[in-house]
Every structure is written in structure tokens, then in C-alpha cells.
Amino acid sequence: MRLTAWYAAIFFAFSIIAFIVTYFLVAAALHEEIDEDLKEDIGEFVAFMHAGGLERVKSEMLIETQGSESEQTFFRLWTANGNLLATSDLSTWSGLIEPTEILIRLRSNDKPVFITLKLTHREYDTRSIYAVIGPDIVLEMGESLEDSVDFMKTLLKGFLMMCIAVLLLGGPIGWFMAKRALRGVQEITNAASAITGDALEKRVFVRSHDDELDNLAHAFNAMLDRIQALIIGMREMTDNLAHDLRSPVGRIRAAAEMAMTNGGSKSDVETIAATTAEECDRLLEMINTTLDIAEAESGASKLKMVDIDVVELVNDAVELFQPVAEDKEIILDADLPNESHTQGDLQRLQRAVACLLDNALKYTAAGGRIALRLSNEDEQIKLAIKDTGIGMTAEEISRIFERFYRCDRSRTQHGHGLGLNLALAFIHAHGGDISVNSTPQQGSVFTVSLPHNQVMQHNL
């Protein structure tokens, strides 16, 4: 109703403004037309003066004011000194005064002079012209503005009728426009209400008008998709977290129960303490990693920016994981340039590369191979880690960077499913990205892209 009232009020206000502008434009046009007609009449009397002299002018004055015309038009002939030479019938034009000042003006400047007369006994104003039509002869001609005033009154009455029509039609038209404008908003409101009732699959119907409401509907549906995905992800993360927490807590409880059952000998106490410490370390590692990811994604922590030789960083990582690779009989090969520099946080980049190498070793069988290739491009440094492991399907690739997600659904491999998510968060913090190509049973390639020797923001 408020929108309807606004539509009607604005429509009415603009109608008033349009009429006022139109009214004054028409009034100005009529005023100009009257002056032009008076000029043309003066031109005719100048021609009469040249053709027949003063007597011809007097004769034409009488002809122009015959009958009822004498009430609409009058003429007076003056000498330049102010002597009255002749007049038309002035019986209805009482109150005319001698135009002394105008005659003085015409003696110095012979251009026509226009004035509007307001005679007390006449209902309508009179438009008059004073012009020199011959040597020492001035013609005064006046014309009633009755027709112009009547026309403007008719125009005003027409506008008043239009205002009434606007008031009668403005409400229904405003209601129709408001209803049409709010229809899309109402659909979004209904969808939001349904979602409040746990109908997360509800979406707003998108029309094909391609207007602002359609854009709002697209944005609203995209928001709902994102919310639904986040809720599903939170549920899965909660399930995975509960599974990962249950195992170490269960082992701690089992060890404690065994110690109480066996009487609590010194060796049993030491075993329980060692088991408890180990499981606590696993829990702390999971919690700390989760916090590190949250800080990196939210920008809560700061990067300690230094100049980093990525070649040295990768060599250190290879050296760190070489014993693990040898134990699993996996060939670890690195093809690196002489140097490759970037700006970044050394500790976080080391952890990101370590997570990627650990992931490759975890899913590569004995006798496999892991190759690291580092290349310098125009604006980026690219590190490719290629393994001959179990590979992944397209569906698995789309989810591997989610928290607690593992391709090993049986969870026989050590880990919490946080390493790749942590690596991606740290690489994103440095303005880079990680891409994946993989083929099931053939292996995977993880490619890290970092800005080449570019100074990054210190805040994550």
C-alpha cells in the first residue's frame, strides 16, 4: 500500500509539474503570437499611409472597428508632440490616458512599443502597440486579450479534469505497478520462509525478463546453493571429525581401563602414559592444523615476508622425505633450475610443500616414482609434483581440498585429511594456487603456482 501511495503521489506530482510548464509555455506562445499580429497590423497601416495618406488610415480605422469589433479593438492617431488626431469608437474604452512618455520614447527611437493596459471597467486586459507609421504620425492600436484568457481558462479546466482522472486512476495503476514490481520480491520472501522451515532445496523461480529482479533471484539462488553446500560440508566435517577423535579417545580410555584391571604396575603406568601422550599429540596436531587453516583462510594471522629461494626450499623438502621414500622403495627425483626467488613466509611455504610431498608418498605404492619439476615463467613460479600413485576420479579431485576428506575411504592411511586443505590455504595466502590433474591407477600431478619475485601483502 505504501508503494501504491508513492506511485500515485509521484504520478500526480509530475502531472502538476508538467501542466505548470505547459501552461506557461502556451501563455508565452500566445503572448508572442498576439504581438506578432499587432506588428502585422501596424505594417498594413504603414502601407495605407504610404498609399492614401492620413485619410486612408482614418478610413481603415473605422472599417476595422465596425459593429462589435469596437469592443475588441481601438485605434488612436497621435502626433509626435502628443496631439490627438483621430480615434475609433471609444465608447467602451473609457479610462485611456495620453501616452506622453511613450511618444517621447518614439521620438528618439522609432521601434514599436508594447504595453498591457489594465482598465478598471473592463473584465479583460488589453494589449497595445505604439508605432510610427508616417512623418510625425504615431498609431496606437489596442486589442482585447479576451480570447487568450478564455483559451487559458479552458486549458485550466481541462487540466483540473485530468487531475480528477489521475486521482481516480492513480491508485489502481499504482497498485498494479507495485504488485508487478513486488511479485519477484514476494517469491524470494516465500523461498526464504520455506528455507527457514528446513526446505534447503527450495529455489526462487527465475523468469526470462533479464531485469534487476532476475539478477536478484540468480544471486539469491547462488547464495542458497552456497549455504546448502556449506551445511552439507559442515555435516560431513563433523562426521569425519567425530570419527577421527573417537579413535584416539577410545584408545586412551582402553589403556586406562586395562591399567585399572591389571592393578596398575609401573610398566603398565608407563605404557598408559606413553599411549596417552601419543594420542594427545595426534589430537593436538589435528586441532592445531585446523586452527592454522582457519587463520589462513580468515586473514587473522600475518605473513613474515622474506626473500625465498624456492629451489633451496624444494631441495630441503626432498632431503627431509628421502628416508621415507627409501623405506617405501619410491624414487624421489627433483629437476630444479639454478635459482628461483619469490617473496613469502618461509615456514608456511615449507609446510605447504611438505604436505604435498607427504600426500604423494602416502598414496604411491612401493616401486613407484615421484618427480618434482620447478620452472620459472614470466610472472609465476610453477612447482609440479608428479606421482605414480593410485590416482583419482573427477569427483574425488573436486573434493580433495575439503577438510577431513580422504580418497582412502577406509581410513587405513595415517592422517586426518587436513594436509591438502592446509597447503591450499597457505598457497592462497601468498597469491598463488594449486591445480590437479589425475588418472585413476596411473597417478596424479599437483601444480603449485606462486608469484615470481613479487612482494605480497603482509596480512593473510
- Residue 211 is predicted with a pLDDT of 67
Among 142-146, 173-177, 240-244, name the most confident range: 142-146
Give yes or no for residue 374 having a pLDDT over 60.
Answer: yes
Separation CA 285–CA 3 (nearest Å): 58
pTM over 0.75: no
Claim to verify: residue 224 and residue 277 sit in the same structural domain? yes
Share of the chain above pLDDT 90, in %: 34
Q: Give the residue numbers spanning the domain of 263.
A: 212-298
Claim to verify: residue 264 and residue 339 sit in the same structural domain? no
Q: Tell me if 374 is assigned to some domain.
A: yes
pLDDT tens across 66-112, in order?
888 888 999 999 998 889 999 998 888 988 888 888 888 888 887 89
- Residue 108 is predicted with a pLDDT of 82
DSSP state of 84: E
pLDDT tens across 207-216, in order?
666 667 677 7
Claim to verify: residue 277 and residue 312 sit in the same structural domain? no
The domain spanning residue 351 has which CATH number? 3.30.565.10
Res. 113 pLDDT band, cuts 50 70 90: very high
Give yes or no for residue 220 having a pLDDT over 60.
Answer: yes
- Look at the alpha carbons of 306, 307, 309, 312 in this order and tell me if their dihedral is positive or negative: negative
Q: Tell me if 121 is assigned to some domain.
A: yes
Q: Tell me if 217 is assigned to some domain.
A: yes
Give yes or no for residue 156 having a pLDDT over 70.
Answer: yes
Q: Tell me if 398 is assigned to some domain.
A: yes
Q: Tell me if 105 is assigned to some domain.
A: yes
Joined grid coordinates for residue 315: 631441495
DSSP state of 69: G
| Cβ atoms of 88 and 64 closer than 8 Å | yes
Claim to verify: residue 355 and residue 329 sit in the same structural domain? yes
Joined grid coordinates for residue 124: 479583460
Claim to verify: residue 230 and residue 353 sit in the same structural domain? no
325 vs 278: which has the higher pLDDT: 325
- Residue 448 is predicted with a pLDDT of 94
Give yes or no for residue 373 having a pLDDT over 90.
Answer: yes
Domain's final residue, options 298, 319, 353: 298
- Residue 122 is predicted with a pLDDT of 87
| Cβ atoms of 163 and 184 closer than 8 Å | no
Give yes or no for residue 262 having a pLDDT over 70.
Answer: no
The domain spanning residue 11 has which CATH number? 3.30.450.20
Claim to verify: residue 358 and residue 323 sit in the same structural domain? yes
Separation CA 400–CA 446 (nearest Å): 11
Element (H, E) at 417: none
- Residue 221 is predicted with a pLDDT of 80
Res. 61 pLDDT band, cuts 50 70 90: very high
Claim to verify: residue 395 and residue 444 sit in the same structural domain? yes
DSSP codes joined into one string, 97-154 = ---HHHHHHHHH--S-EEEEE--TT-SS-EEEEEEEEETTEEEEEEEE-HHHHHHHHH
Claim to verify: residue 121 and residue 11 sit in the same structural domain? yes
Res. 188 pLDDT band, cuts 50 70 90: confident
Claim to verify: residue 280 and residue 322 sit in the same structural domain? no
Domain's final residue, options 261, 278, 298: 298
Domain's final residue, options 97, 130, 150: 150
Claim to verify: residue 7 and residue 146 sit in the same structural domain? yes
Beta carbons within 8 Å of 343's beta carbon, 6+ residues apart: 305, 306, 307, 308, 451, 453, 454, 455, 456
Q: Tell me if 62 is assigned to some domain.
A: yes
Q: Tell me if 199 is assigned to some domain.
A: no
The domain spanning residue 253 has which CATH number? 1.10.287
174 vs 158: which has the higher pLDDT: 158
- Residue 303 is predicted with a pLDDT of 80
pLDDT tens across 313-338, in order?
999 999 999 999 999 999 999 999 88
279 vs 305: which has the higher pLDDT: 305
Joined grid coordinates for residue 109: 527611437
- Residue 460 is predicted with a pLDDT of 39
Claim to verify: residue 141 and residue 268 sit in the same structural domain? no
- Residue 368 is predicted with a pLDDT of 92
Q: Tell me if 287 is assigned to some domain.
A: yes
Beta carbons within 8 Å of 272's beta carbon, 6+ residues apart: 255, 256, 258, 259
The structural domain count of the chain equals 3
Averaged over 18-24, what is the pLDDT? 89
- Residue 130 is predicted with a pLDDT of 94
Claim to verify: residue 316 and residue 282 sit in the same structural domain? no
Separation CA 69–CA 59 (nearest Å): 15
Res. 199 pLDDT band, cuts 50 70 90: low
